[in-house]
Structure 1
C-alpha cells in the first residue's frame, strides 16, 4: 500500500475518533436550549413581578413579591453559571476535535493535551449539571414555601 492510501486511511480513523466528541457537542447544545428556556421563564416571571411591585401599595404583598424576586435572582444566577460552564465545556470539546486533527496533520503527540481538554470539559459539564440541579432545588423550594401555589388547597 502506498503512503497516500495509508494517509487517507489514517485520516479516516481520525475522523471516526472525532465523531464521538461532536455528538457530545450536540448534547451540550441541547442542554443549552433547556437552560435558555429556564432562564427565559425566570426573566418573564421577574418582569411580571416587577410590574406588580410598581403599582401595588400593599406592604405585605410587596414584601412577598420582593421575596419571590430574590428567589428568582438566585435561580437566574444558577442558570447563568450552568450556561457559562456548558459553553466552556463545549469549547473544550471543540478544542479536543481540533487537537485530534492537528496531531494527525502535524504529526505531533498531543495526547496529553487532548486528554486534559476532555477531562476538563467533562468536569465543567458536571458542574454545569450540578448548578442546574441547584436551580431546580431552588424552584421546588419556592413552590413548597407557597410562593407559586399559595392559592391552591393542597390538603387532598
Structure 2
C-alpha cells in the first residue's frame, strides 16, 4: 500500500495513533527544561564556590574544595539525566515518524513502534532516576547546624 492508496480517513487514524507519542514528546520537553534549570542552579553554585576557592585557607578552603567536588558530581549526574531525556525525545520522534513512514509504505509497524516506545520510556525513566539521585545528593550535602535551628533562650 502506497500513499496514493490512502484516503483522508486512514491518514486521520494515523494522526490519532501518533498523538499519544506526541504528548509524551511534549512532556519530555518539559522534563528536559526542569533538568536544565537544575543544572543551571548547580553551575551557579559552582561559580560562587570557585570564587571562594581563591579567597579561603585552612578549614574554610577544605570545605570549599569538598563542596566543589560534590557540585562537580551533581553536574555530571544532571548532564547524564539530560542525555537520557534527550535520547527519549529523539526516540519518540523516531516512533512518530515511523508510524507514518511504515504505514504509508505498507509495512506492519506494531512491533517497531512498541519497541521504540519501550526504549523511549526506558531512557526517560533512567533520566528521572538520575534526577532523583542528584536531588538526594543535594539534600544530603545541605545539613543545617542544630544550633541554627534554635531560637535564643531555647
Query: Given the two structures, how large is their TM-score scaled by the length of structure 1?
Result: 0.88
In the alignment, does 2:82 pair up with 1:83? yes
Match of 1:110 in 2: 109
Question: 1:151 and 1:72, CA in 2 relative to 1: closer, same or farther beyond 3 A?
Answer: farther
Match of 2:12 in 1: 12
Q: Note the C-alpha offset of 1:150.
A: 5.0
Match of 2:148 in 1: 153
Question: 1:29 and 1:137, CA in 2 relative to 1: closer, same or farther beyond 3 A?
Answer: same
Please give the residue correspondences for 1:1-156 in structure 2 after superposition, counting only pairs within 5 Å: 7-56=7-56, 58-144=57-143, 149-150=144-145, 153-155=148-150
Which runs of structure 1 show a deviation greater than 3 angstroms over 4 or more consecutive aligned residues?
149-152
Task: Provide the C-alpha distance between the structure 2 equivalents of 1:129 and 1:94, rounded to a whole number of angstroms.
Answer: 19
SS in structure 2 at match of 1:48? helix
Task: Provide the C-alpha distance between the structure 2 equivalents of 1:110 and 1:99, rounded to a whole number of angstroms.
Answer: 8
Residues 74 and 137 of structure 2 are in contact (CA less than 8 Å); yes or no, is this contact kept in structure 1? Answer: yes
In structure 2, list runs of 5 or more residues that go unmatched. Answer: none
Q: Note the C-alpha offset of 1:79.
A: 0.4
Q: Note the C-alpha offset of 1:104.
A: 1.6
Question: 1:121 and 1:74, CA in 2 relative to 1: closer, same or farther beyond 3 A?
Answer: same
Task: Provide the C-alpha distance between the structure 2 equivalents of 1:61 and 1:99, rounded to a whole number of angstroms.
Answer: 56
Task: Provide the C-alpha distance between the structure 1 equivalents of 2:126 and 2:138, rounded to a whole number of angstroms.
Answer: 18
Task: Provide the C-alpha distance between the structure 2 equivalents of 1:98 and 1:152, rounded to a whole number of angstroms.
Answer: 59
Question: 1:42 and 1:152, CA in 2 relative to 1: closer, same or farther beyond 3 A?
Answer: farther
| RMSD between aligned residues | 1.8
